[in-house]
Amino acid sequence: MEKISVDFRSFAQVTKEFIKALGQKRTYSLFENAYCIFGILWGIPVPIVTIGIHLYSARLLLNLPNIMRIMLHEPFYFFFLLHPVFFGIVFGAMGTVRYNKQQKIEELDKQKSNFLSMVSHELRTPLTTVAGYVSFLLTEKPGVLNQTQKESLKIAAETADLLNHLIEELLDLSKIERGEFRVNLAHVDMAKVVHKAVTALRLYADSHEIGLECDLPHDLPLVWADKERILQVMTNLLENAVKFSRIGGKITIAASVDRQNSKVVFCVSDTGIGIPPDKRDRIFDKFYQADSSENRKYGGCGLGLAISKSIIELHRGKIWIESEEGIGSKFFFELLHATVHL
Ligand code: ADP
């Protein structure tokens, strides 16, 4: 049989937090602490029910003189009358404990964010130097390189690129968490953005023998967007589409105009591995990866989609996914038509 034990340490901790909260002004403030109001409402039925039962059993009418008579006759009922106050204080203290915990979490989050930002900045400086020297050597100005040296330096340059990308993502995340992530919206021709993203990803897709196609309407209207940030979203979706596709797969970028809601919906679809239904809701969470096994095949750190979601939301849009395991995925995002007044 399972042994039932009382966790005295956490009980002592809760008592300590509760007593501390009793000494805080917030516990008694109806305006700052909704828990306090909730407690009072919770306590109101206590005197009503107890006095009501007394009146009913004494066959007396429920009116003020009778209530006063009972109270004077049996002052014990004042104790019941004070219940809304007791409940208000107890619930209020619980609200304060919760508030204190929340404050602590926010403080820790802030420290973590600052730390993340500081470390990323510190990493970026030496990395830029390393990448600079590697590309300088690759120009062969300091001396002619043999094939092995060239290959090795190319690998070093690619690794530096990957690291730089990761640092950029960490910096973006820390900005998002501190509420400092901004977009500058202007009228943008998305056909140009898509073209830029496709050009940047073409080599990567070719190396995996994956077809990359655009299926944009000729009369694609301008949208409200931050050109650089929306290019980041498009590149991220395309990179993922290539990364999670099999050799010989196909990726299509399409768009449709929703005139009724003044929106343009973009879709990046692939014929890749797809995402199981129970993981679809979580892929936009930071650091979440559908394949979290120790021998993960795919790189990355699970930040791209979380950042893309924040970017699209700053554009007052939505991002969502439709996917079938083993068949492929479709990532949609919508942007406002440039005719909308912001
Ligand atoms: P990363 O790609 O660095 O892991 P993302 O935030 O871009 O991080 O993606 C989170 C997770 O969502 C990925 O690890 C993968 O499991 C899943 N995912 C994203 N795009 C696709 C896709 N096109 N096909 C299948 N799974 C995907």
What is the rounded average pLDDT of the residues 234-258? 95
Amino acid at 288: Y
What are the backbone angles phi and psi of residue 297, rounded to the nearest 5°? -85, -30
Give the lowest-confidence range in 38-42, 54-58, 205-209, 289-293.
289-293
- What is the mean pLDDT of the segment spanning 325-341? 93
Place of tokens 């995402």: 275
Beta strands in 198-310 (DSSP E): 211-215, 223-225, 250-258, 263-270
pLDDT beyond 70 at 294: no
Protein residue closest via CA to atom 25 of ligand 1? 274
The pLDDT of residue 272? 95
pLDDT of 317 reads 95
Per-residue pLDDT at 2 exceeds 80: no
- Predicted confidence (pLDDT) at residue 308 exceeds the cutoff of 80: yes
Residue reference for tokens 């950029």: 168
Q: Where are the alpha helices (DSSP H) in 33-74?
A: 34-43, 45-57, 64-73
Say whether pLDDT at 21 is over 80: yes
Give the pLDDT confidence score for residue 1 in this predicted structure: 59
Q: Mean pLDDT in the chain? A: 91
Burial class (CB in 10 A: 0-12, 13-18, 19+), 61: exposed
The pair phi, psi for residue 65, each rounded to 5°, is -60, -40
The answer to whether residues 233 and 226 touch, using CB atoms and an 8 Å cutoff, is no
Residue 29: helix, strand or coil by DSSP? coil
Distance from C-alpha of 223 to C-alpha of 342, rounded to nearest angstrom: 12
How much of the chain exceeds pLDDT 70, in percent? 97
Instruction: Read off the pTM.
Output: 0.75
| Tokens 């009146």 sit on residue | 55
> Residue type for 221, please?
P
Instruction: Return the minimum-mean-pLDDT range out of 194-198, 291-295, 335-339.
Output: 291-295
pLDDT for 323 beyond 90: yes
Q: Which residues lie below 8 Å from residue 96, measured CB to CB, with a gap of 6+? A: 21, 24, 26, 27, 33, 35
Both tokens assigned to 308: 């893309």
Residue type, 21: A
Q: Please check the confidence at residue 17 and state whether its pLDDT lies above 80.
A: yes
* Ligand 1 centroid, distance to 114 Cα (angstroms): 26
pLDDT tier at 292, thresholds 50, 70, 90 = low
Which residue's CA lies nearest to atom 1 of ligand 1? 302
Query: How confident is the model over 295-324, as a mean pLDDT?
Result: 90
> What is the pLDDT, as a whole number, of residue 261?
87
Ligand 1-lining residues (CB < 6 angstroms): 236, 240-241, 244, 270, 272-275, 283, 289-291, 300-306, 329
- Does the pLDDT of residue 43 top 90, yes or no? yes
pLDDT tier at 63, thresholds 50, 70, 90: confident
Which of residues 4 and 125 earns the better pLDDT score? Answer: 125
Name 1's bridge partners: none
Tokens 């940030």 belong to residue:
229
d(CA 306, ligand 1 centre) in Å: 10
User: How would DSSP label each residue in 180-208?
Assistant: ------EEE-HHHHHHHHHHHHHHHHHHT
The answer to whether 116 and 53 have CB atoms below 8 angstroms apart is no
Give residues with Cβ within 8 angstroms of 218, minimum separation 6: none
| Chain-centre distance for alpha carbon 340 | 27
pLDDT 10s digits, 129-183: 999 999 999 999 999 999 999 999 999 999 999 899 999 999 999 889 888 899 9
DSSP run (H or E) holding 300:
none
The protein residue whose alpha carbon is closest to atom 20 in ligand 1 is 240
334: number of Cβ within 10 Å: 20
Contacts of 307 (CB under 8 A, 6+ apart): 169, 172, 173, 176, 232, 236
Pair 254, 215: CB distance under 8 Å: yes
* Span from the CA of 276 to the centroid of ligand 1 (angstroms): 12
State how far the Cα of 331 lies from the Cα of 47, in Å rounded to an integer.
58
CA–centroid distance, 146 to ligand 1, in Å, is: 38
Helices (H), 208-295: 227-243, 277-280
Instruction: Pick 1 or 317 by higher pLDDT.
Output: 317
Q: What angle do CA 102, 103, 104 make, to 5 degrees?
A: 90
- Asked if residue 329 has pLDDT above 70, the reply is yes
Residue pointed to by tokens 């516990």: 27
pLDDT of 201 above 90:
yes
Cα R_g (the chain), whole angstroms: 31
Q: Identify the CA nearest to 243 among candidates 298, 280, 282.
A: 298
Distance of CA 18 to the CA centre of its chain: 31
Q: What is the mean pLDDT of residues 177-194?
A: 93
